[in-house]
């Protein structure tokens, strides 16, 4: 059939993120089965696949919210070493707060809906140890501005904001500490099409300006096509195919990927 690809020879940097052979079951349901994934510094990895295929579970593992039964996770960053799944609770929490940002499809998962928007962002900085009110306010404002949140709504609680604005608050919170890794789970799903385009545009901009490494899960292949350098296709807890984004969309190999891509064309 197709050729097996060689290991990298030109690019000598190590992947920033490397997940190896992770598996996770919930009772009788095996959500993730022996999955490995990696992302190079500055790369955007897209994950697509059918509902229930384990994408969110995998992303939660990358955010250290979920610990798999087997497998390892490393981040190639200064002061970070070893299998991160073996860290204790406190160390995991610190690592997440300082190195990893996450945006969920459901803003209720990522935000305190009744606190002010700037407070939501500042909370992230508090966890990381910042105590000066002026610095907190300043940093939160900058992150919200970079996420293209209207600054006259800084004090509004997310519950009073539109879906697109709530996603910008989540995004600001995620990037406030300039994380090395940004995880996005369906960040534009459920938004109006026009708002979707704006949020997508903001993400693209952040990626280009900051060269941030991202992992993005989406059912919207347009979103993946716009953002991802490489794409991983999941089905029933397993990876069926990975490749350069243009190759996955133009010359999909696996029957499931062909069905997925052709259905959306």
Partner 1 sequence: MTQVLEIDRLTKGFSLHHLEKDIAAFEDISFSVAAGEFVLLKGANGAGKSTLLRTLYRSYLPLSGEIRFHSSHGMIDLARAADVDVAHLRRTEIGFVTQFLTARPRVSAEAIVAEPLRLAGWEHEAALKTARKALETFGVKPDLWAAYPTTFSGGEQQKVNLARALILPQKLLMLDEPTASLDANARRALVARLQELKDQGTAMIGVFHHPDDVIHLIDRVVDLTPDAAPQEDRDDVAL
**Tally of CB atoms within 10 A around 198:** 16
Regarding 251 and contact with ligand ATP (CB under 6 A), the answer is yes
Q: How far is the CB of 43 from partner 1 (least distance, A)?
A: 8
Written as six digits, the tokens of 81 are 């070493």
Does 118 participate in binding Mg ion (rule CB under 5 A)? no
Tell which one of 17, 57, 68, 175 touches ligand ATP (CB under 6 A).
Answer: 57
Strands 230-235 and 70-75: unpaired
Among 35, 1, 5, 29, CA closest to 17: 35
Please report, as residue ranges, which positions from 164 to 223 form the binding site for ligand ATP (by CB under 6 A).
none
| Minimum distance of ligand ATP from residue 21's CB (angstroms) | 17
For residues 147 and 202, what is the distance between their CA atoms, to the nearest angstrom? 6
Q: Does 194 bind partner 1 (CB under 8 A)?
A: no
Candidate ranges 24-32, 84-92, 145-153, 223-231; the one touching ligand ATP (CB under 6 A): 24-32
Residue 25 touches which of ligand ATP, partner 1, Mg ion, none (CB < 5 to 8 A by kind)? none
Q: Please report whether residue 52 would count as binding ligand ATP according to CB under 6 A.
A: yes
In the Cβ-directed half-sphere of 153, how many Cα atoms lie within 13 Å?
Answer: 17
Question: What is the per-residue burial (b if ≥16 Cβ within 10 Å, else e) of 56-90?
Answer: bbbbbbbbbebbbeebbbbbbeeeeeeebbebeee
Pair 77, 45: CB distance under 8 Å: no
**Residue 152 Cβ, how far from partner 1 at the closest point, in Å?**
21
- Two tokens, residue 154: 């800084």
Comparing CA positions, the residue from 73, 53, 72 lying closest to residue 218 is 53
**Using the rule CB under 5 A, is 53 a contact of Mg ion?**
no
Among 100, 230, 233, 234, binds partner 1 (CB under 8 A): 230
Residues 110-169 that bind partner 1 (CB under 8 A): none
Print the binding letters for residues 20-59 with partner 1: x by CB under 8 A, - otherwise.
--------------------x--x----------------
Site size toward partner 1 (CB under 8 A) is 31
Q: Does 83 bind partner 1 (CB under 8 A)?
A: no
Query: Does 265 contact partner 1 by CB under 8 A?
Result: no
**Is residue 56 part of the contact set for Mg ion (CB under 5 A)?**
yes
Question: Which segment (1-9, 51-59, 90-98, 123-131) binds partner 1 by CB under 8 A?
Answer: 1-9
Q: Residues interacting with Mg ion, by CB under 5 A? A: 56
Q: Residues interacting with partner 1, by CB under 8 A? A: 1-11, 40, 43, 197, 201, 204-205, 229-230, 242-244, 246-247, 250-251, 253, 255, 258-259, 262
């Amino acid at each position: 059939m197709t050729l097996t690809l060689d290991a990298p020879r030109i690019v000598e940097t190590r992947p920033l993120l490397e997940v190896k052979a992770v598996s996770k079951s919930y009772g009788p349901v095996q959500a993730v089965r022996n999955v490995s994934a990696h992302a190079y510094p500055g790369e955007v990895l897209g994950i697509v696949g059918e509902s229930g295929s384990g994408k969110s579970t995998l992303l939660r593992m990358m955010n250290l919210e979920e610990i798999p039964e087997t497998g390892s996770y490393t981040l190639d960053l200064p002061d970070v070493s070893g299998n991160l799944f073996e860290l204790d609770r406190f160390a995991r929490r610190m690592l997440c707060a300082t190195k990893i940002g996450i945006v969920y499809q459901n803003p209720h998962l990522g935000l305190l809906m009744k606190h002010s928007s700037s407070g939501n962002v500042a909370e992230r900085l508090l966890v990381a140890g910042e105590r000066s009110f002026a610095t907190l306010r300043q940093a939160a404002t900058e992150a919200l501005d970079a996420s293209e949140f209207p600054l006259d709504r800084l004090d509004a609680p997310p519950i009073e904001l539109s879906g697109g604005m709530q996603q910008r608050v989540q995004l600001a919170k995620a990037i406030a500490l300039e994380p090395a890794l940004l995880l996005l789970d369906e960040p534009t799903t459920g938004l109006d099409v026009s708002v979707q385009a704006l949020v997508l545009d903001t993400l693209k901009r952040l990626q280009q300006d900051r060269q941030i490494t991202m992992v993005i899960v989406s059912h919207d292949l347009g979103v993946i096509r716009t953002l991802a350098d490489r794409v991983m296709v999941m089905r029933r807890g397993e990876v069926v195919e990975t490749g350069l984004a243009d190759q996955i969309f133009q010359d999909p190999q696996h029957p499931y990927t062909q069905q997925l891509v052709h259905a959306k064309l």
